[in-house]
């Protein structure tokens, strides 16, 4: 039973049971069919993030009972207005321009429809997926107009999808570009629609093995590190990117400040480093934020 997996106090267990009884018979049947192991895993995730059922019972119950995701969470930002101010200041653009870029990805129903169609039969996916901090990557791509962009870490491919969508709009405005993405899993990137793959090169190998060789002879305008947080990995990838850097390269660390690799590199190269703290809307995930460095002087 779900409540046993969560290991909650008796009072809270009784509260969950009461709320479950209020569901329709059809929904109660669906819940009984769900895996107890999946409930246990999601309950473990809730505890790991320090979210209290006593303090936020509806938030916890909604996630454990109904949310299919157990990692690589999708969510809306609750502080998007702060993101607009942050990117406008970093990129030297107006708030109106940045807000317009964010509105593009937020209101792209064609993109969301294609994504929902591809995720239709996956039990680990929501029917309507939000991009979280990746909307910032979209806005940066629209602003920087990179000729070559590199991403490390693909997984489902939400980041790749966002970046390729931005490149598609850039190309329509006369600024074409392409994306190279790295991941060790050959099945990653499944969510990327076929029409967006023309300017995408996924490389299924370790960056330690092929990043430098793949970038040989090329200049990188935008580099996004979205691999699991590891100082060694981030430092290697960022420094390799800098050895192939275009004049005005922008570096983004998707793990926020969970490693010091990017701020250290920015300080070493007299660049500017800024960090944005995200706040997910109505989600048990507390958010991680991202780091951004530019004006590097190698």
Domain residue limits, the chain? 2-66, 80-294
pTM value is 0.84
Q: Does 171 score more than 60 pLDDT?
A: yes
Over the chain, what is the mean pLDDT?
86
Contact present, 192 and 161 (Cβ < 8 Å): yes
pLDDT for 1: 39
pLDDT tens sequence across 42-97? 888 888 888 888 888 898 888 888 888 887 788 899 999 999 999 999 999 999 99
Contact present, 292 and 252 (Cβ < 8 Å): yes
Helix residue ranges per DSSP H, 134-283: 134-144, 158-172, 207-215, 231-242, 261-268
Indicate the class that CATH gives domain 80-294: alpha beta
Contact present, 264 and 291 (Cβ < 8 Å): no
Contact present, 246 and 219 (Cβ < 8 Å): yes
């Amino acid at each position: 039973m779900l409540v046993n997996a969560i290991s909650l106090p008796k009072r809270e267990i009784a509260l969950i049971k009461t709320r479950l009884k209020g569901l329709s018979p059809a929904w109660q049947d669906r819940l009984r069919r769900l895996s107890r192991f999946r409930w246990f895993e999601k309950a473990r995730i809730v505890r790991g993030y320090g979210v209290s059922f006593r303090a936020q019972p509806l938030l916890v119950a909604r996630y454990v009972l109904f949310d299919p995701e157990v990692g690589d969470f999708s969510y809306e930002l609750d502080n998007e207005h702060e993101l607009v101010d942050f990117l406008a200041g970093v990129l030297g653009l107006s708030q109106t321009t940045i807000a317009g870029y964010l509105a593009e990805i937020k209101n792209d129903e064609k993109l969301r429809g294609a994504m929902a169609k591809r995720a239709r039969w996956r039990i680990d996916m929501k029917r309507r997926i939000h991009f979280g901090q990746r909307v910032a990557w979209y806005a940066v791509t629209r602003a920087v107009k990179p000729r070559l962009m590199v991403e490390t870490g693909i997984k489902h491919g939400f980041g790749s999808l966002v970046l390729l969508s931005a490149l598609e709009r850039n190309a329509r405005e006369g600024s074409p570009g392409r994306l190279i993405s790295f991941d060790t899993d050959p099945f990653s990137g499944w969510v990327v629609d076929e029409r967006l793959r023309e300017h995408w090169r996924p490389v299924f190998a370790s960056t330690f093995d092929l990043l430098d060789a793949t970038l040989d002879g090329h200049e990188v305008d935008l580099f996004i590190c979205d691999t699991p947080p590891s100082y060694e990995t981030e430092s290697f990838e960022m420094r390799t990117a800098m050895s192939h850097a275009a004049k005005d390269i922008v570096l983004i660390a998707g793990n926020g400040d969970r490693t010091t690799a990017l701020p250290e590199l920015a300080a070493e190269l007299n660049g500017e480093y800024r960090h944005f703290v995200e706040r997910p809307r109505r989600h048990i995930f507390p958010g991680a934020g991202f780091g951004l460095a530019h004006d590097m002087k190698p």
